[in-house]
Amino acid sequence: MSLSIKRAASTAWTVATRQPSNFSSLSATGRFFHSSTKVSQPSASPFAEPTGVNPAEKYKALGESLHSYGSYLTQCLPKYIQQFSVVKDELTLYVAPQSIVPTLTFLRDHSNCQYKSVMDIAGVDYPTRSQRFEVVYNLLSHKFNSRIRVKTYADEATPVPSVVGVFRGADWYEREVWDLYGVFFSDHPDLRRILTDYGFEGHPFRKDFPLTGYTEVRYDEEKKRVVYEPLQMTQAFRDFQDALSPWEMVGHGKDSTPESFKIPAPEPPKTEEPKK
């Protein structure tokens, strides 16, 4: 009996000595949760959307270096480059048609350029201009991870020299521009249509080309073949002289040219007061 009483007393003493530690841990845990859930600042509104970076400010630091590079290229080719422009992170050179081959050759071979790939050649139609077509060359430099755009101009009768001898990949691009816009590329090895059907008349990307086309293509059940017939639908005349595109910029916009490249404004002429 005495042994069992001693064991019971020892167990009771152990439980009694452990309870304070458990209670202290629980109180510490309570203090931890209490401090963690305490809000010191009000939470942000879930409906507030973060504002994006202004594109004008995003490329502001890059604009001065692009202006310097464009000025450098103009000094290297003063005979060929008429002007250049910088919009955001894009540098564009403007050259005459007869200058396109030497300009692209320079951009391909010069150690500070290395534009070895022509990524695209596109056409643009401006019916109100005397030189209504713009031919745009987009080049890529793998060495410097850089792109540049070169633009030239032409009309219906003025050919543009082919650059297939400079960039072999320009073959099909020039055929597309010829097919869709009618810009003729002289010295092209195989200038023929590439996208439109055989015997197609006209150039469908010109602004004066009717949206409905000139002919209708259908399968004739009696003749058992595809036939071309004159289109019976008529389309209203489209006037591009006074039409305002919704994508046109209103006003002169904001000049983002760095101060070191801005041309100073001319002084106003002095007006002499008439002598009495």
As a whole number of angstroms, the distance between CA 180 and CA 194 comes to 9
pLDDT band, residue 142 (cuts 50/70/90): very high
Q: Give the H/E segment covering residue 175.
A: helix 170-181
As a whole number of angstroms, the distance between CA 160 and CA 100 comes to 8
pLDDT digits (tens, 9 = 90+) for 159-174: 999 999 999 999 999 9
As a whole number of angstroms, the distance between CA 204 and CA 37 comes to 68
What are the sequence ranges of the domains in the chain? 55-190
The answer to whether 195 and 180 have CB atoms below 8 angstroms apart is yes
As a whole number of angstroms, the distance between CA 188 and CA 141 comes to 24
pLDDT band, residue 54 (cuts 50/70/90): confident
- Give SS3 for 243: coil
Fold of 55-190: Beta Polymerase; domain 2 (3.30.460)
Alpha carbon distances (Å) from 203 to 45, 83, 86, 131, 157: 56, 30, 31, 17, 14
- Mean pLDDT (the chain) is 80
Q: What is the pLDDT of residue 50?
A: 65
Q: What is the pTM of this model?
A: 0.69
